[in-house]
Structure 1
Amino acid sequence: SHLEKEGPELDYVTRPPGSGIPQMPPDQKRVSAWRKHCGGLEGDGESEYGVLEELTFSGNLAIWSPPPEVLEQELPYSMRYLRSLFDARHTHSLDLHDMKLLRMPPEVLELAWSLLHLYLNNNELTTLPICVEELSCLQTLHLHHNRITRLPPTVGLCLTELTDLDITYNEMTRLPLEFGNLKKLKKFEVGNNPWDMIADETVGQGTKSLIRFLQAVKDSVHGILDVQDMAISSYGLTFVKRAIPDASKIYDVNMDDNVIKMIPKSLHVLTAVVSLSINRNKLRELPEWLPVYDNLQVLQCSTNHLTSVMDEIGDIPTLVRLTLDSNFIKQIPNTFSSLTNLETLRLDSNQLECLNPAIGFLEKLRKLTLDMNELTCLPPEIALCTSLRELSFEGNAIKSPPREVILNGPPGVLRYQARLLAGKTQLDMQLNELGLYHVPFEITYMSNITRLNLDNNRLRDLWPVAPLPPFCERDKAVIVGGGYWAYRLYPEEERRAMGWEQPEDPD
């Protein structure tokens, strides 16, 4: 009932599905019941009729059961082989381990609709036939200690009831991605194989992580690679790249919650990536080759160990969202000015001491978060971000803009910064109608301004909060509700701390 089919891979032709298993003769039924009651016989080569000492069947043309490799061994091997097949009809378990089998016996398929456990370990197998898909009820499959180099995808597609699969100590380099469909697996042993697509760290994470990894790589054919929370390191990422069927089609990559310290250059093949997420890792720096992702729009690197941002970030003008919060960044590079399409920038929970004026070139920026840094002031150039709608900088020792301006929200802050910027460039500082309680200290650094308007505020005094103004080479005029105040100039040899004072003759 079984024929060997020629071709690159061994296959068997079996009886049509649903034809049933041949019925045992009545006497064999009684024997089967007796063996089931007694739990089987002990000792190889024994039968219920005594101990068989010699078995010959020379002159038969086509003996296929037991297989030739079993017949070449001593008699107990053949008897154990036949007895295992006999017992499997009522135990639903077939144990053919350590019989030097070269291929899966075709008799196994006669038990296809009832077999639950199959042990083919410690043999000389190199693969399984495609028709193994007929063992759809199988729950246990042990193939360890063989010479298997590959397994058919049908194992993952059809043997979905498997709970225990052991393929350790073989010669496999790749697993069919269809194995990711084996959701019921509780024990999946794959160690001691020369894997080319699975890192040892992934193997060590256990069955669930391994199945998730295979499923993630399999789903990458749809353009999404999700390897979140798989304890993958930088070394493991090189195996991810090898496992991906077609890297050029992936547009969304999620590597959150792993232990990645650097992104290997081998991932530069993901040229179609639009979104890259590497949150909650141990990333120390962004790779200089990142601009090869010329379609990248979303880059998320929150909660890592970044201390700086590489200058090459400016070579990715397609960026729309950039999250670098919860790192150790102290400054951002001037090349940020090239990110003209950026709409969201998160820099909160870093160590920023000042914000680069290049931020003013981000005309499309709508959201900027700077919470929990070490900022003391915002650059006036931030007023050039005309699309900004959300601005947050809580948890900083901000002196500029003043608190009364901050309470007016982002619109009030941007209006204040715009006036500072105008005074910086036009030498005419219009700080009227801002509800100020004190003269802003930052104007004391603008030694070139010639006019300062503080009308309609709530000034309590004219002392800048801090620090005192630097020494000036010429008189300055300050308009305060129609009255004039001026710097008092000291001779160079008598320079000392200067302050504001009212002239003797205001006219």
Structure 2
Amino acid sequence: MRRGRGAHGYDSLSGFRTQQSEPAVPQGLLKNARKSGQLNLSSRGLQDVPQNVYRLNVDPPEEAQQAVSFGGSDRWWEQTDLTKLLLSSNQLTTLSEELRLLPALTTLDLHDNQIQSLPRAIGELQELRQLRLSSNQLRALPLELFSLALLSSLTLQHNLLESLPPELGQLTSLTELNLSRNHLQELPCSLGDLRHLQKLSLEHNQLGSLPDSVGRLSCLRLLDCNNNQLTTLPSSLAQMTSLEQLFLRQNRLTLVPPLPSDSLKELYLADNQISTLGSEQMSGLSVLSSLELRGNKISTLPEGALPSTLTRLDLSNNDIGILPPTLGLLPNLTVLLLEGNPLRGIRRELLNKGTMELLKYLRGRIKEEPGDTSEKPCGLPLPSHAAVDLHNISALKLLQYSNKQAESVRDELFDAAAGHCITSVNFSKNQLSSAPSRLLDFASSLCDVDLGFNRLTCVGPELCCLLKLQHLDLRNNLLCDLPSELQNLTKLRSIILNFNRFKSFPVVLYELGNLETVLLGNNQVGSVDASRLQALVHLSTLDLSNNDMLHVPPELGLCSALRCLSLEGNPFRTPRAAIVAKGTDAVLEYLRSRIPAS
């Protein structure tokens, strides 16, 4: 019996022996990487990239030192060059210059680390197509990076970049460039040399302008400049012949910028300082379907200012007093948002009835010309026409089945929309007792759902799983509560719950941090939690009219984003009706004055 071992072979000294640490990268992974050309080391707590990873295709593996025979699948000398290396969600702060030993890489994923600088050897990865560097601590980029002639996707969001060199324009194969959430104050003129670029994300920087060369980006389809400090945009923007989506929310624009008239489909200008709309410029946008102008200073809409192709128009929280009757003639408009405007001549109950009723009212105010029969009904439609509108589905991405008094939505409607990226659904004015389960068919694209004027008693999983949803209309139903699962809808910006049976403010709404509009009028709500409402930093419109509130909490005055607060028709004594009649600013100022001094 050997010393240190008991009668049964137990090693009594094992506690004193040095334990061999597990390798940072198991040999099995490296062996598989040599066969597949792919190595996934994400979320392994790595502080450094092990040297044997860099030398994967240089040094012979351990099997080569062993005198054993190999089967067909174990021939180490037939290894494949590493083409895909995933190192995301680790604790890396730097990379070695030995990165040059992996020249066949086409994908390098380093996002969600703590990398402060890149090695110059990055420029030797001449086969690289995708480079993911988001959520790091990069303040600058090595010039060698801009020699990667085949690079098509470069993601740099959530870093500390303050500037970019002129060499950026050398990346002529780029189709996607994400520079959002950095500290950029300007962009190099060479940006216009990225002639294949299709998607450019610049949101959450400090840009005061864009270079005039941006107009040369003839393939660009999406430009996101939200949350910057833009005061103007170059006139060359109108030359971007492929631009379909333009995001300019939360800037300092006072005028609608020059726009490409033949390609732009979606324009987002919320929360700027725009006061007027150019009639000729706006009406010339021949394919525009979605226009967002909420949170500006627009006071009038000139006659014929808007393109006939519009399906969605958001004018919330402006200074519009009068709507031109010709607005009712927009043939494709299905969503019109007007909350937070000092509208005159239109009863509030009419606004609560929805877009179709409002447009019908506006059309009725147009003096009918002799012999004009365009607005007259022409008998009962054929059942096939009533069932499926293929134009709405294919051209407008709209699934419409409203005002049918139906208890369910027929499957043939969903079948006809299969394969289309439906963004809006209108099933209002029916007898539905629950949301159709097949709404989930469009979970990846659906942004607007209108189920108003039905008989819904609860909100089921069909709606709670629509993670792209931004606008939800549930007015005139039989709802008394909302499920906690609704907090999954993190992109939800407006919810309409007027004319239901709520006895309290739905708790789940306090959890939806992106909410801008909550309409809860004509229910039985007795109170709200003002401290939790303050956490909704984007909430600009809150309708609590015609409820059962006996007390208005003074802390409600601290909801600084509110521009429209409706409290009329409640039995509280303070604030007095005379103060409520003065409008939102007066009510909020009064409430703040009632907060006890600390």
The alignment's TM-score, normalised by the length of structure 1, stands at: 0.44
Higher RCO structure (Cα 8 Å, ≥6 apart): 1
The alignment's TM-score, normalised by the length of structure 2, stands at: 0.38
Q: Which has more radius of gyration?
A: 1
